[in-house]
Amino acid sequence: MAERLVPVISLKDFDNRKEEITAQLVEAAETAGFLTLVDHGITIEEIEKQFAISKTFFELPAEVKGKTPHSRETNNGWEYKAQLRASTGTYDQKESLWLRRGSQWPSDVDVPNFEEITRTFMDKCAGISNQVLFCLAVALGFPEDYFLVANDVNKPDCLTQLRLIHYPASEDSVGTWRAGTHTDIGCLTLLFQREGEDGLEICPGRESHTSFAMGDTFTPLPAHTGPIVVNIGDMLMAWSDDRLKSNFHRVRAKDVGKSPARYSIAYFNQGRRDFVLQGPKKKYPPMTVEEYFTQAVQRNFARQQLAVA
Ligand SMILES: O=C(O)CCC(=O)C(=O)O
Ligand SMILES: [Fe+2]
């Protein structure tokens, strides 16, 4: 079922297969808004290495993890069960570490080689993101490098982040969510999962990036080490005049019985703060990425009020 909904797309021999890959990516982006990438160039060993370093970090005592505390202003740093969801009115049952290239990083004293390994991993994620973004720009009628410039991680105003996530083992989780239903508000997300740590569910069928109506058919997407789950975020939905779909998803634990811990890693391409965003058909007025985020957060905040009312 999930395999039919979320196509597996190979990036093998990218330079010679760009047109074929573009057609596959666009088909998936216009429907499920989710796809799975294989032959992307990051090895299982490299992915496991990044998960291992993530686990080492999360196993540290809270006071050590708290040396890089989450800041509301920058959205970087470590948070513990602090994310309140508009959709559920409850806090996600997880902890996470948000990192930006220029942000404060855990020290090598606390987690040996954390920074070196993680920066290498982020660079690989940027390379894969650029391949996907190249194809989507061409398909939308933008210049080939349009989204690459808009998401250039070498520019100081780039908002792209890596998020290491840990959902602790739990029991009888009815009434709580590991990650409540949401869409990603950035541009394009790469998600890494580990074999056997299921829980991700997706719900296609959204018509506009400003709507909050979610359908009721969620499809589980089994976790595998290796393939990368890629999804469109609200920013890219807006940037494509709602042609590419940013769809709802969530992470659940078992209502009854034990759920093992789950680790995931998300790489969020979030654009450059000062880049001006507008779709080719100009469905929405032009705005900078910063203005877009301000509006998106305000919309979510209004929903938050509704959710807890
Ligand atoms: O952990 C996951 O699989 C999903 C994470 C997610 O959707 C997010 O952080 O936006
Ligand atoms: Fe998400």
- H and E: helices and strands count for the chain: 8, 16
How far, in Å, from the CA of 34 to the mean position of ligand 1?
A: 13
Q: What's this model's pTM, rounded to 2 decimal places?
A: 0.96
pLDDT at 308 over 50: no
- Average pLDDT in the 86-114 region? 94
Which of 230, 249, 262, 270 is the pocket-test mutation for ligand 1 (most atoms within 8 Å of CB)?
249
- Average pLDDT in the 183-194 region? 97
Which of 166, 185, 200, 268 is the pocket-test mutation for ligand 1 (most atoms within 8 Å of CB)?
200
Largest CA distance in the chain: 54
Question: pLDDT tens digits for 31-43?
Answer: 999 999 999 999 9
pLDDT at 215: 74
Cα–Cα separations (whole angstroms), residue 255 to 112, 215, 301: 37, 21, 28
Start-to-end CA distance of the chain, whole Å, equals 36
Taking the CA of residue 262 as reference, the ligand 1 atom at the shortest distance is 1
Whether the Cβ atoms of residue 229 and residue 36 lie closer than 8 Å to each other:
yes
- CB-defined site of ligand 1, < 6 Å: 163, 165, 179, 184, 191, 200, 249, 251, 264, 266
Taking the CA of residue 229 as reference, the ligand 1 atom at the shortest distance is 3
pLDDT at 309 over 50: no
Question: pLDDT tens digits for 204-235?
Answer: 888 888 887 777 789 999 999 999 999 999 99
Taking the CA of residue 165 as reference, the ligand 1 atom at the shortest distance is 1
